Copies of this chain bind each other. A is one copy, B any other.
């Protein structure tokens, strides 16, 4: 993310060209100046419009009626984005580093499909890549305070990594085993849509996550019983993290008062901290007189 620090020019070597470059850099990459903010707002609107264009193009009725307008708008956006891309490459100190950075590739993928559409007939595969322009929005918001919230979430997720792996393994196991089991139970029934294990595993995922599309459903009594168990598992698993949280809180409460059992032999004060050597109330040593470890002799 902090690509800017690397790309910026050192204060010293400022020629005429460099001043222009720096000016462009400030406008495009930063948001402190008036033009920087203006650029960000224009860019934000362009991105939203271009994403809307991709969506509208995919709707058959709209594309049939307004095809020409959509194509013109698309080219305006593409030229704007190409210009922006060129300026970005021009003004950074290490163009290659920018080009192969995450946002550099996203920027290129935002314009490439439209140009490729001239050479090859534009397919939906090609034009759908343009939806990735949405990712560019996140660069505009890069410096806002909302990133802190995101960081907090990332830290919490990283710390809970082992629990997440256990969670996913458990869901995978449940889904494969119950999916196969329901295939064995259901597949012989003439009306059942569970005609293969992959299909029944897909159904198990749909069920355990409580999504429940209903395009595939068990029709036999046994299948429905097994489905009920799977649903209750899916419903119950959501509660597990909360249960762990509650237990963690209880653990905090229960363990805290009794965690140190030292009692001062002089004033009988309790509740000393772990590793305390002297009574916090009267200053006497907490270790027995005959101990090998005597810090303080009076």
Residue from the list B60, B128, B149, B275 in contact with A180, Cβ < 8 A: B128
Of A3-11, A69-77, A85-93, A286-294, the one with at least 4 CB within 8 A of chain B: A286-294
Contact A187 B124, beta carbon cutoff 8 Å = yes
Q: Fill in one digit per residue for A18-34: 1 if any B CB lies within 8 Å of its CB, else 0.
A: 00000000000000000
Instruction: Pick from A55, A211, A246 the residue with the most CB of B within 10 Å.
Output: A211
Copies in the complex: 4
Q: What CA separation (Å) do A153 and B247 show in the bound complex?
A: 10
Find residues 182-210 in chain A having any chain B CB closer than 8 Å to their own CB. Answer: 183-184, 187, 195-198, 201-202, 205-210
A162 / chain B contacts, CB cutoff of 8 Å: 145-146, 148-149
Q: Which residue of B lies closest to A131 (CB)?
A: B180
Q: Is the interface of A mostly helix, strand, loop or mixed?
A: helix
Chain B minimum-CB-distance residue to A171? B232
Tell whether A276 pairs with B280 under 8 Å between CB atoms, given A157-B243, A221-B198: yes
- A2 sits at the interface (CB 8 A): no
Determine, out of A37-45, A94-102, A109-117, A263-271, the stretch whose residues face the partner at the interface.
A263-271
- Are A177 and B134 within 8 A (Cβ)? yes
- Report the minimal beta-carbon distance from A6 to chain B, rounded to whole angstroms: 26
User: Footprint of B on A, CB under 8 Å?
Assistant: 51, 54-55, 58-60, 124-125, 128, 131-132, 134-135, 138, 141, 145-146, 148-150, 152-153, 155-157, 159-160, 162-169, 171, 173, 176-177, 180-181, 183-184, 187, 195-198, 201-202, 205-215, 217, 221, 224-225, 227-228, 231-232, 234-236, 238-253, 255-257, 259, 266-269, 271-285, 287, 291-293, 295-296, 298
Add 11 more A-B contacts to A168-B232, A241-B243, A268-B291 (CB < 8 A).
A152-B244, A164-B236, A209-B210, A213-B217, A242-B242, A244-B246, A246-B248, A267-B287, A275-B276, A283-B283, A295-B295
